[in-house]
A and B are shown apart, each in its own frame.
Chain A
Amino acid sequence: MNASTVLGQVVDVLALLLVPPLLLGVINRVKAKAGGRRGQPLLQAYRDLARLLRKGLVFSETTTWIFRAAPIVTLVATLLAGLLIPLGGGGPVGFEGDLILFVYLFALGRFFTTAAALDTGSPFEGMGAAREVTWAALTEPAVFFVLISLASWSDSLSLDTMLLAPAGPHAATLVLSAAGLFIVLLVECSRVPFDDPNTHLELTMVHEVMVLDHSGPLFAAVLYGAAMKLFILATLLVRLVTPHLADAWATRGVVLAGVLAVAVVIGVVESTTARVRLARIPNLVSGAALVTAVGFLLAVR
């Protein structure tokens, strides 16, 4: 292990820690531009996080330790998942079969978020939790289908090496997987057209409604974790479709640029589409899962 590799891993981890709030800024900026507004500064998300960290904590009397632990557990789980997908390849953590850990780290985070929402006893939060879990039941298979299609042609069960394998003749699968994964990303990160992060009506919320009761540093952890999830899924998507370059640093640059591009695309999608009706969302998400499943079938044919 030479110095360049070590340095690379450090950069990967730093990117994972520092870049996520920037993505929120980019999305907001694109939306503002599309709407003809000046919009927030690019780094507004960092300032928000800093402000929240300085504030005090308020807890409802009905909540238990779950409510307090949830944001931290979710953040840590997300962070661990992020470590499995380095920007450049040859990451700090990784082993055969870690793709299952990857999916279940997200599930763990989701479990705690929803458990905390239920813990508050608020009907709105319970409703949000129900929606979140319903959709997750559909997005998880989609992610799995993408990962096992990858595994099928890379002959590996480790995320890091899987993502390095060239798709070769499986271009169709790649396109289907990417399309499915993009929808999963929009759902998982509560973006329009599935959820609106800026909505102000509890009834229409999904993710935001679950974290209404959090405050101060814990709310900062929630927001930060959400942004990190966006970063990780975007990284997965970009690494899926970009060819692997021989030079790890070049790969890193390309992937990072790609992640920012994904944020731009999300901004465009958010400014051009309207939210779909809640009842139709399961159809769309299971459509995404099906598309990835078809991709998988094509890959193993």
Chain B
Amino acid sequence: MGSLLDSLLVLVLVLNLYALGTSRIAVVIRVVALQGFVLAALPLLAHGEIGAESVIISVAAVALKAVIIPMMLFRALRDVQIRREVEPLISTGASMLLGGLGAALALAFAKNLPLTAHDGHSLIVPAALATVLAGFLLLTTRLKAISQVLGYLVLENGIFIFGLVLVDAVPLVVEIGALLDLVVAIFVMGILLGHIRREFSSIDTRALSALKED
């Protein structure tokens, strides 16, 4: 069980790098969807035994993170009619390297964290931190509004991973609530994306600059 869990977490890490390393938005959506799918399997593996709660969370995560949210994003992508992130603030190659550096830092950092004996051996905590960092990188270095939404999703995925060490503490309602909130947030952002595109004929966030101190 443990090694399968860790292998899936490694896959999550690799997907982070992939998302950081490509400029094609459709590819990033697919990567994030795949990541959501992998994440959904984790609750089943993380606790040794499969309980009703983990099954519900898994099913909800597959439905929302791997199906519904990617569908909404693809719809938004079709509406805004762009295909790639043309000029990110730092190049995709560099952001991938930073993502790798982030993963290294997360691994080194997690080693020094006070973890319970059980969690100390698994990759859950470092993978969570690395994914959160990757999400931040996407959020801050990409300029297209839809890419930033994807960064937010990756960030949430990282938090979801951290939630795995907390089965007993976080009740089902909160986990599901967090997932639903995420869906609503993406839904609202998707609607806004369309409006942004109509008003600004672009979803480049540099166009959003009317509001500032003069």
Contact = CB atoms under 8 A, between A and B. Distances in A.
Direct A/B contact, Cβ within 8 angstroms: yes
Contacts of A169: 3
Interface residues of A, number: 17
A157 interface: no
B117 to A, nearest CB: 15
B104 A298 contact: no
Interface of B: 3, 6-7, 10, 13-14, 17-18, 21-22, 92-93, 96-97, 99-100, 103-104, 107, 111, 123, 126
Nearest to B7: A172
A237 B100 CA distance: 23
11 contacts: A172-B7, A283-B21, A286-B93, A287-B96, A290-B97, A290-B100, A294-B10, A297-B107, A298-B107, A298-B123, A301-B107
Interface in A251-301: 282-284, 286-287, 290-291, 293-294, 297-298, 301
A171 interface: yes
Interface of A: 169, 171-172, 175-176, 282-284, 286-287, 290-291, 293-294, 297-298, 301
Contact of A171 (B3, B107, B111): B3
Given A176-B10, A286-B21, 9 more contacts: A172-B7, A176-B14, A283-B93, A283-B96, A287-B17, A293-B104, A294-B13, A294-B103, A301-B126
A175 B107 CA distance: 18
Query: What are the 3 tightest A-B residue pairs by CB atom distance, in nearest-first order?
Result: A290-B100, A172-B10, A283-B93
A286 B22 CA distance: 12
Contacts of B6: 172
A65 to B, nearest CB: 38
A176 B126 CA distance: 17
Contact of B97 (A171, A286, A291, A298): A286
B102 to A, nearest CB: 11
A291 B14 contact: yes
A291 B17 contact: yes
Contacts of B92: 283
Contacts of B18: 287
B111 A298 contact: no
A172 to B, nearest CB: 5
Contacts of B111: 301
Contacts of A301: 107, 111, 126
A286 B3 contact: no
Interface centre among A175, A282, A286 (most CB of B within 10 A): A286
Contacts of B104: 293-294, 297
Nearest to B13: A294
Nearest to B14: A291
A290 B17 contact: yes
Nearest to A301: B107
Contacts of B97: 286, 290
A173 to B, nearest CB: 9
Nearest to B22: A283
A252 to B, nearest CB: 30
A194 to B, nearest CB: 15
A284 to B, nearest CB: 8
Contacts of A283: 21-22, 92-93, 96
Contacts of A297: 103-104, 107
B7 A175 contact: yes
A286 B103 contact: no
